[in-house]
Structure 1
C-alpha cells in the first residue's frame, strides 16, 4: 500500500514539476469546464510566459477591481475555491469514515510530500514576483495539485469509490493543476502562465520531498528570462550563486543569505579570504574524530566551524559555521548553540 502510494506520488511530482510546454488545449478545456460548474461561460484565455508576466498583465476589458492587488476580492477565484472545497467535503464523506488508517498512510506518503514540494519549489518563484501570503491563501492553495493527488491515491491504492460526476470534477481539477502553470481567473478572461523551462531540485525530506537548488545558475527559469536562484531551498540573490565574495557577504543584511553565500564559497575559503583570526580549536566531543574551530569576526562576534553529525545524501558530512558570542572556548561555543554549558556538551556521546 505504502509503496503504491509512493509510486503515485512520484508520478504526480513529475507532472507538477514538469518543464515541458503547457498543454494549452487541455488547460483551456479544464478551466472552461470549471467555469461552467460555477455557472459562467468559458473565458477568453490570455497566455503569458511566466508568473511575473501573469501578475503584471491586465487584459483588455479588465474591470477596475480586477487588478492583481485586489485578487482577494475577485468573485471567480472565491467561487472556484468554494467549488473545490465542496468537492473535497463530498469525497471525504465517502472515504474518511471507513478508511482512516489507509487515509493516514496516503496523506503521509502522497499529499504532504507533494504539498511541501510545491510550497518549497513553485511558491518561492511566485513570491519573488508578488509576495502576498493573503493571495496564496485565497487562491493559490486551490491550485496545488497535492489535494487532487490525494484523492487519486485513495481511489487507486485504497480502493475508494467515487461517483461518475465526482470523477469528472476531479479530472477537471487534475488537468487545470497539472497541464499549465499558475492561472488567474477573472470573470471574462483567464490569464494562464506557461511552465518553467528549467527547474533544478534536490531531495530533502524522508518521503520524497524536493526543494529548489542549483549551484551554478538559476534553480527556476522561464522562457522570457525571468528566473529564481536558490541554495538548498532558500531563494537568494543571483550574486550568491554567480559571484559570492567577502565584500558582498559583509554588505548583505540578511543573515540567511550570508550563510548561503558562505556555504557556496565554502567555509574554508571564506575564512581564508575574509582573513578571520583563529581563536582556538578543540576535538568535538559530540562528533568524535572531528574538530571545532573558533574564529574571530569583526563586530564582537565569532564563528564556530563544525562538521555535521549526520551524513548528507551524497555520503559526505557538511562543514558549516555558526555565529556565536565572543567565547574563547570552542566547546563552550558549541554548547551554547544547543543551550548547554561547556561541561554538559563535553559529555555528549554524539550529536546529529
Structure 2
C-alpha cells in the first residue's frame, strides 16, 4: 500500500472514530435530560407548547402545573372516547402533526429493536452505514432505557387511566435521533421541520409529562428522585430503574414507583419483603423479585420449607435441583417448590436461581423438573442442557 493510501485509510478510520464519539456524546447528553431531576423550566415549556398549539391554529392554552403523573390524571379525570376516523380532538390532531413530522425527517420508526454493534467503529469500517448505527445505538438504546424502562414503569403504575399524552423529558429517543442525524450526519432538513422539531426538543429539555386538551394543558414537574442501575453486560451504558431501598422514582407530592432490576413492583417488595406477603402475592414475577431481595437462604429458613430431596441437575451440569415442601397454612394449597438454576447465562455472566411451584406428589426433584418441561423424569435426565 502506498504512503498516500495508508494516510487516507488512517484518516478515514479517525473520521469514523470521531463520528462515533460525537454520536455517543449527543446520545448521553439526551439521556441526561431524560433522567434529570431539576425543576422544570416553566417559561420554556409553556412557550414550546403554545408553539405547538399555534401549528394547529389554536390559541395558547391555560396551563395547569402538577407535581406527578398521578396528579395529572386526577385533574383530567377518565380519558375521553374518540375515533381517528371522525373529527379529532386537539390531542388527536397533535398526534397526527408529530407523526407527520417524524415521517418526513425519518426518525422514531427504525432500528429500535436491533442491538447496536459491540464495536461501532469496526462495524462502520465493515460497511455499516452511519445512519443504521444511529438508528440502533441512539434511538434503539434510548427507547429501551427511557421509553420502556423508565416511562414504561411509570405508565404501568398509572394503569389505563391516562388517555393520550406526551412524555416531555422521556420523549428523547426520537428527538436525540433527529439531533444526531442533523448535527453529526449533516442531514438536510427543511427549516420548517427543524423549527417544529425544536419545539419538541425544548420540551424534552424542560419538563416532565404533559397532557394537552382543547383549552387546557396539564404539565407535570420532573421527578425529584430517579434511581437506576447499569443493565448487566450492556456495552452502551444502558440503564434500568432499580433500588434496594425506597422508590426508584418519586415526585415531590409523594407519588412514587418502585422497581426491582427494571421491573415495577409493589413497595413492599423493596421496602419490606416478608414470607407472608410473598405467599399472598399472585404474580409469579413479583414473588421472584421479593424472594431475590430477601435472599433464597433467608426465604427458605423463614418460610419453614422442608427439604424433600436434592439431585444434580442433568439438564444443567454443575447445578443442583432442590425440592421443598411448602407449608399449607401459608401457601393455601398443598404444593411443593422446585429450586433450580437457570440454564441460560445472564448478561453479566451469572445464572439466576429461581423457584417453581410443582404438584405435591413429586418426591424426586428430577421428576419435578421434567414435569415443568412436559417431560418425564427419565426424559429430562437425557437432556444435554436446558435453557
Question: TM-score higher than 0.5 here?
Answer: yes
Aligned residue for 1:46? 64
Q: Which runs of 5+ in 2 are unaligned?
A: 1-15, 111-126
Aligned residue for 1:78? 92
* Aligned residue runs from structure 1 range 306-317, under 5 A: 306-309=340-343, 316-317=350-351
Distance in 2 between residues matched to 1:107 and 1:344, nearest whole Å: 45
Aligned residue for 2:26? 8
The alignment partner of 2:218 has SS state of: strand
Aligned residue for 1:233? 262
Aligned residue for 2:190? 163
Distance in 2 between residues matched to 1:158 and 1:322, nearest whole Å: 50
* Aligned residue runs from structure 1 range 1-352, under 5 A: 3-4=20-21, 5-57=23-75, 67-70=77-80, 75-92=89-106, 101-117=129-145, 118-132=147-161, 135=163, 138-140=164-166, 144-204=171-231, 206=234, 207-297=236-326, 298=328, 299-309=333-343, 316-326=350-360, 327-338=362-373, 341-343=376-378, 345-350=380-385
Distance in 2 between residues matched to 1:347 and 1:122, nearest whole Å: 44
Q: Which fold has the larger relative contact order, with Cα–Cα distance below 8 Å and residues 6 or more apart in sequence?
A: 1
Distance in 1 between residues matched to 2:226 and 2:95, nearest whole Å: 27
TM-score by structure 2 length? 0.77
Equivalent residues of 1:244, 1:261 under 8 A apart = yes
C-alpha distance 92-236 of structure 1, shift in aligned 2 (>3 A):
closer
The alignment partner of 2:79 has SS state of: helix
Equivalent residues of 1:78, 1:139 under 8 A apart = no
CA deviation string 1:93-136 (max 9, x = no partner): 9xx9xx99544332222212222222221232233234348x3x
Distance in 2 between residues matched to 1:3 and 1:234, nearest whole Å: 31
Equivalent residues of 2:138, 2:177 under 8 A apart = yes
Equivalent residues of 2:90, 2:214 under 8 A apart = yes
C-alpha distance 321-70 of structure 1, shift in aligned 2 (>3 A):
same
Equivalent residues of 1:217, 1:241 under 8 A apart = yes
Aligned residue for 2:10? none
C-alpha distance 335-178 of structure 1, shift in aligned 2 (>3 A):
farther
Shift of 1:174: 0.9
Deviates more, 1:196-205 or 1:227-236: 196-205
The alignment partner of 1:69 has SS state of: coil
Shift of 1:274: 0.9
Equivalent residues of 2:52, 2:199 under 8 A apart = yes
C-alpha distance 214-83 of structure 1, shift in aligned 2 (>3 A):
same
